[in-house]
Amino acid sequence: MGKVGFGLAVGCAVASCAIAATLVSRRVKSRRKWNRVVGVLRELEEGCSTSIGRLRQVVDAMAVEMHAGLASEGGSKLKMLLTFVDNLPDGNEKGTYYALDLGGTNFRVLRVQLGGKESRIIGHEVERQPIPQHLMTSTSEDLFDFIASAVKEFVVREGDNSGLQLDRRRELGCTFSFPMKQLSVSSGLLIKWTKGFAIKDMVGKDVAECLQQALAKGGLDMRVATLVNDSVGALALGHYDDEDTVAAVIIGTGSNACYVERTDAIIKCQGLLTNSGGMVVNMEWGNFWSSHLPRTSYDMDLDAESPNPNDMGFEKMISGMYLGDIVRRVILRMAQELDVFGDVASKLSEPFILRTPLIAAMHEDESPDLVEVSRILKDTLGINDIPLKVRKLIVRVCDVVTRRAARLAAAGIVGILKKIGRDGSGGVASGRSKSVGESLSKIRRTVVVIEGGLYSNYEMFREYLDEAVAEILGEEVAQHVVLKVIEDGSGIGAALLAAAASHPSTSVAHDNVT
């Protein structure tokens, strides 16, 4: 070999070494990046831990906060609002009643025909429409004029099928799912907006009065007979269907719960008298907070960037409005570690672009190649060609966030059962200790109704929640507790309450606190 040949051979060897070294270094770098992304997942899993021990702490905290909220005004982040509903429908209601349900995403108008004990609900019609985005931040007049005109169109379309003479006054039950200081069963002042609504001139106003004025302006002879929160409507339908129903939980865009409480346990309102001895209490549990809640940096960022920081902490961890955005924040963090996501400053940085139904679809993608995950990443976030192993990681993120939400909601439900002595422990208010055997033998069949798109449409969420309630209660107690999904309860229930308000009886069960 001549000098030139030798030189070439050495040159080639050096070059291949350099290429090999670059490849190895790239591989090492990419492995490091991958490890960092896996680290993001691990950290999330730890931060979202809902061990049974932690869930029990949340149960206790919920029961204790309920107590504090009932003891004094402002005694807890749980407002524990009086509803003045002491008369839940029992099946005797008769006639045609209307309802409207203003809750968050959709607005619904309903007509319900009630046939009394024998025929029950003869029929109901529902009309849904989305609330135009601009009305959520406009004026109260714009919002209620829109609602009144939708109600009027609904009434006009019914023709002669309503069984009502056209000149007869109609009775309306209104469901308004934002915190209200209730003045009576048919009036209440808006305390604050949640779920993205922000109509400033409305805060402090009587919601029923605004609606009544808009209906009158629209030329409709309709009386706002009841004004309730959606959870109260759901409880009304639950109780109408099954008298063992003691609580209702909403898990949709937002989250809330109500239950039947003994009036003498509502200490902040001494001397409160009702025919039944009980009253439905609207917990406004979206605002529940406890240091035992597993909170991550993603939750803190979401809260800090929301229009209502330090507010509705529980709702922000468990409800449909927020779960998608928590997942988006985690994916964004992963994208900052790994360059397969492309330009991370793009759509992934847009708040609320990833809606909860989409995380449900990714989570429930059963195809081996996760084609649905690919499609959603591409169509919604503009991210193409994500490797399968990264897609799998994203599914895990959906799982972790959803599982935490469902299990925390479950702990909240058991917290209510504990407060009213239906969890097998004797209740926090009992003031005397009981043996476990004595408590167990006293557990009565207990129904909790659950309404809302997150619970009813997202199967994995539902399974996690149901499973956690059984896990916390234990097998023996869990067999007495029925979780029942209901639909349109908040609307139909409002119509039932309007009917019950017209013909009151004394049907609220009130012997639930031991």
The binding site for Mg ion (CB under 5 A) comprises 103, 230, 252, 490
Pairing, β 121-130 against β 94-102? unpaired
Among residues 238, 239, 230, 105, the alpha carbon closest in space to that of 176 is found at 230
Query: Which region among 98-106, 209-217, 263-271, 433-441 touches ligand ADP (by CB under 6 A)?
Result: 98-106
Among 138, 149, 306, 457, binds ligand ADP (CB under 6 A): 457
Among 281, 458, 492, 514, binds ligand ADP (CB under 6 A): 458
Query: Using CB atoms within 10 A of its CB, is residue 12 exposed (0-12), middle (13-18) or buried (19+)?
Result: exposed
Binding partner of residue 336 among ligand ADP, Mg ion, none, CB under 5 to 8 Å per kind? none
Pairing, β 121-130 against β 187-190? unpaired
Binding to ligand ADP by residue 89, rule CB under 6 A? no
Query: Using CB atoms within 10 A of its CB, is residue 348 exposed (0-12), middle (13-18) or buried (19+)?
Result: buried
Among 69, 89, 91, 104, binds ligand ADP (CB under 6 A): 104
Give the span between the Cα atoms of 212 and 463, in whole angstroms. 41
Binding to ligand ADP by residue 453, rule CB under 6 A? yes
* DSSP H or E run through 418: helix 388-419
Binding to ligand ADP by residue 218, rule CB under 6 A? no
Binding to ligand ADP by residue 505, rule CB under 6 A? no
What residue type is 168 in one-letter code? R
Tokens of 37: 């992304």
Binding partner of residue 317 among Mg ion, ligand ADP, none, CB under 5 to 8 Å per kind? none
Binding to ligand ADP by residue 127, rule CB under 6 A? no
Cβ neighbors of 441 (< 8 A, separation 6 or more) are none
Binding to ligand ADP by residue 105, rule CB under 6 A? yes
Q: Which of residues 231-290 bind ligand ADP (CB under 6 A)?
A: 252-254
State the nearest-atom distance from the C-beta of 308 to ligand ADP, in Å.
17
Give the span between the Cα atoms of 343 and 363, in whole angstroms. 24
Binding to ligand ADP by residue 308, rule CB under 6 A? no
Binding partner of residue 286 among ligand ADP, Mg ion, none, CB under 5 to 8 Å per kind? none
Among 106, 137, 138, 306, binds ligand ADP (CB under 6 A): 106
What residue type is 502 in one-letter code? S
Is the CB of 253 or the CB of 374 nearer to Mg ion?
253
Tokens of 302: 């979401």
Among 99, 302, 360, 370, binds ligand ADP (CB under 6 A): 360
Is the CB of 194 or the CB of 296 nearer to ligand ADP?
194
Is the CB of 162 or the CB of 457 nearer to ligand ADP?
457
Is the CB of 113 or the CB of 319 nearer to ligand ADP?
319
Pairing, β 245-251 against β 446-451? parallel
Is the CB of 65 or the CB of 303 nearer to ligand ADP?
303
CA 276, chain centre distance (Å): 29
State the nearest-atom distance from the C-beta of 455 to ligand ADP, in Å.
8
Binding to ligand ADP by residue 135, rule CB under 6 A? no
In residues, how long is the chain?
Answer: 514
DSSP helix/strand/coil, 427: coil
Q: How many residues bind ligand ADP (CB under 6 A)?
A: 17
DSSP state of 341: G
Backbone CA torsion sign across 67, 73, 75, 77? positive
> Which residue's Cβ has the minimum distance to ligand ADP?
320
Radius of gyration of the chain (CA): 27
State the nearest-atom distance from the C-beta of 210 to ligand ADP, in Å.
20
Helices (H), 158-221: 207-217
Query: Which region among 32-40, 117-125, 181-189, 356-364 touches ligand ADP (by CB under 6 A)?
Result: 356-364
Give the span between the Cα atoms of 501 and 236, in whole angstroms. 12
Is the CB of 37 or the CB of 323 nearer to ligand ADP?
323
Residues engaged in binding ligand ADP (CB under 6 A): 103-106, 252-254, 320-321, 356-357, 360, 452-454, 457-458
